[in-house]
Structure 1
Amino acid sequence: MARKEPVTVSDAIGVAERLWPTSGAEEWDAIGLLAGDRNAPVEHIHLAVDAVPETAEEAVELGAQLLLVHHPLLLRGVTSVSEDHFKGAVVSRLIRGGCALYAAHTNADAVDTGTSAVLAARLGLVDAIPFQGAGGVERADSGIGRVGRLATPTTLGALARTLADVLPPTASGIRVSGAFEQTIQTVALCAGAGDNYLDDPAVQAADVYVTSDLRHHPASAFRENAKLRGGPALIDVSHWASEWLWLDTAAAELRGALEGVTVTVSDLRTDPWDFTVVQ
């Protein structure tokens, strides 16, 4: 009987890039293998949204040989990986612990089981499609964002409550712009930072837009135009929380493709805010 070859980092990357094709990544992104030996064996993959010292330590302590994250650690250029900066500390800890680091970012946002698709499914959206597919002649199954409808209309306040129940808790909670009793059926959403899409036709045609990292001026302009023109409400949720939901789906896909490899998901909250003082 032939001896089964061990799964390697390269094998795991091959599976990841079939699940989340690199062609779907934005040009500015820094996806892929960030640290580690492609030929090293892999028996355990650990998933997290962010590569920070705590998730790196967790991966090593669990005995993982690959930490797969959503956010690329080296997205913005660095000139040093010394351990007096957190990025260097993360890379050094992983290398010393024999754990590679890989990132699937905007390529994992775009697929039909990606970050926005998972959030849409958790909210129960029907016929959810990416923004560029909304109103188009052909249905698009992959792309940024999702727009769909609730099977039963609800209120803005009730939808915000549902988001609070679906998402892991964070200090920033759920921030809402609009009337509590406003009727909501068509929902546009973008897991992670989504203020680039505030003017997208799919967003403007919805009853509400759910996203993260909304800055004052874009959010204020969106709110005031909505009041003037009868446009959508706005819900701002934690960036980390909106993408953390995807990890369970990603883990299940990896388990299905990598027989015998243990795949775990980090429960560590890497949202940057620790507490809120209510005024």
Structure 2
Amino acid sequence: MSKSILANDLIRKFEQWAPKKLAYNWDNVGLQVGTLNKQISKIMITLDVLENVVDEAIDKSIDLIIAHHPLLFNSIKKIDIDSPSGRIINKLIKHDITVYAAHTNLDIVDGGVSDMLADQLDIKITNVLLPSDTDQLQKLIVYVPESHADFLIEAMGAAGAGYIGNYSHCSFKTTGTGAFKPMQGTNPYIGTEGQTQEVQEVKIETIIKKSQIPVLIPLVEKVHPYEEVAYDLIPLENKGSEIGAGRVGDLQESMTLNAFCEFIKERFDVPVLRVTGDLEAHVKKVAILGGSGKGFISEAKQLGADVYVTGDMTFHEAQDAMGLGLNVVDPGHHVEKVMKQVVKAFLDKQIVEMDADVEVITSTSNTEPFQFL
């Protein structure tokens, strides 16, 4: 039978994927309004928390809104319910709707907004545009009965462990004898309380990223047959992958800038866009950054991009890009709406695994402020 869950329980799962610590220090992520300590049955995913989105949430009996753009970005000194922001907060509190934001942490994380945007354009990623840290590599060592070794290796590999270059499920196995004595009050999978037990076990060694620890260790504990799991985590000197916002990579094939613009309009479902550069020039290497990326033209150029795709480009920055010989395509800030379906898919999977009775929907309200005439 499906069960209800606390918002906190689901958000903990979400933050294993997109931890708040990844967000830039100027950002405001996490709980915005309300409480996460409540039962939820309906969630809505949105890019922005505007008044029309809140009205939609009220109409659809939403308990929790998960947004990409924070509702509360700067400090507030008063809540005037006659002001636009005050009306929004007042409605949320009156209707017991909690708002949670995942912003730059969702931009940065593997599979987050930066990767979503690159995937939409079939870009084969080669670099992070704006590295903010290195995801340290760790060796994960787990001891398991021989009967469960292959199953555990497959489960860890499916969750992202054991990736070395273009190879997955990389591991090393050694066999030996494990010994333990179940003490009073235990419920051992193998052995008898109070008696020393020896078991033929396999020592599995694999490589993981430090960011994967919050996901992989609970997984190991879940699928491992033992009541108490023996494992080691050893930091490695091997260079880990860079993490940060934006991506750089190659299109499947070179195309003219004009054709690339039409491709973007189709993939991002935008009616118009702005572009600088020679429309007949061929482009292959693309830098892409969701949101407002006007300040990172030089980084895109230094990484060899032929074209830089980002939002909110301004007059002088566009001229700077032209001076550097970098083509720029501005499809708008609103293309970050791609996050709605991906976050929904992630939450749906977690809810199934938790056997919870919770519905996740995406907002249908339009939060694009511009009209195109």
- TM-score (normalised: structure 2): 0.67
Structure 1 position 156, deviation (Å): 0.7
Structure 1 position 267, deviation (Å): 2.6
| Aligned position for 2:293 | 194
Tell me if 1:83 matches 2:87: no
Distance 1:4 1:252, change over 3 A: closer
| Aligned position for 2:360 | 263
Specify every segment of 5 or more residues in structure 2 that has no aligned partner in the other structure, as ranges. 135-237
Specify every segment of 5 or more residues in structure 1 that has no aligned partner in the other structure, as ranges. 227-231
Structure 1 position 6, deviation (Å): 2.3
Could you tell me whether the CA contact under 8 Å between 1:147 and 1:202 is conserved in 2?
Answer: no
> Which segments of structure 1 move beyond 6 Å, counting only runs of 4 or more?
none
Tell me if 1:152 matches 2:253: yes
- Cα deviation, 1:136-169, whole Å, max 9, x if unaligned, reads 9956363110001012111111111111111133
Which of these residues, 119, 122, 133, is aligned with residue 121 of structure 1? 119
CA distance in 2, matches of 1:71, 1:222: 27
Which of these residues, 257, 266, 269, is aligned with residue 165 of structure 1? 266
Corresponding pairs, count: 264
Identical columns (%): 29
Could you tell me whether the CA contact under 8 Å between 1:119 and 1:245 is conserved in 2?
Answer: yes
The structure with more radius of gyration: 2
| Aligned position for 2:48 | 50
Tell me if 1:213 matches 2:312: yes
Distance 1:23 1:183, change over 3 A: same
Amino acid at match of 1:30: N
CA distance in 2, matches of 1:127, 1:254: 25
Amino acid at match of 2:123: L
Amino acid at match of 2:246: G
Structure 1 position 37, deviation (Å): 2.0
CA distance in 2, matches of 1:34, 1:117: 25
| Aligned position for 1:229 | none
CA distance in 2, matches of 1:165, 1:267: 19
Aligned alpha-carbon RMSD (Å): 2.0
- Cα deviation, 1:83-106, whole Å, max 9, x if unaligned, reads 222221111111222210000000
Structure 1 position 254, deviation (Å): 0.8
Partner secondary structure for residue 145 of structure 1: strand
Partner secondary structure for residue 143 of structure 1: strand
- TM-score (normalised: structure 1): 0.88
Structure 1 position 39, deviation (Å): 1.7
Could you tell me whether the CA contact under 8 Å between 2:286 and 2:309 is conserved in 1?
Answer: yes
CA distance in 2, matches of 1:24, 1:185: 30
Partner secondary structure for residue 106 of structure 2: helix
Distance 1:104 1:203, change over 3 A: farther
CA distance in 2, matches of 1:267, 1:130: 31
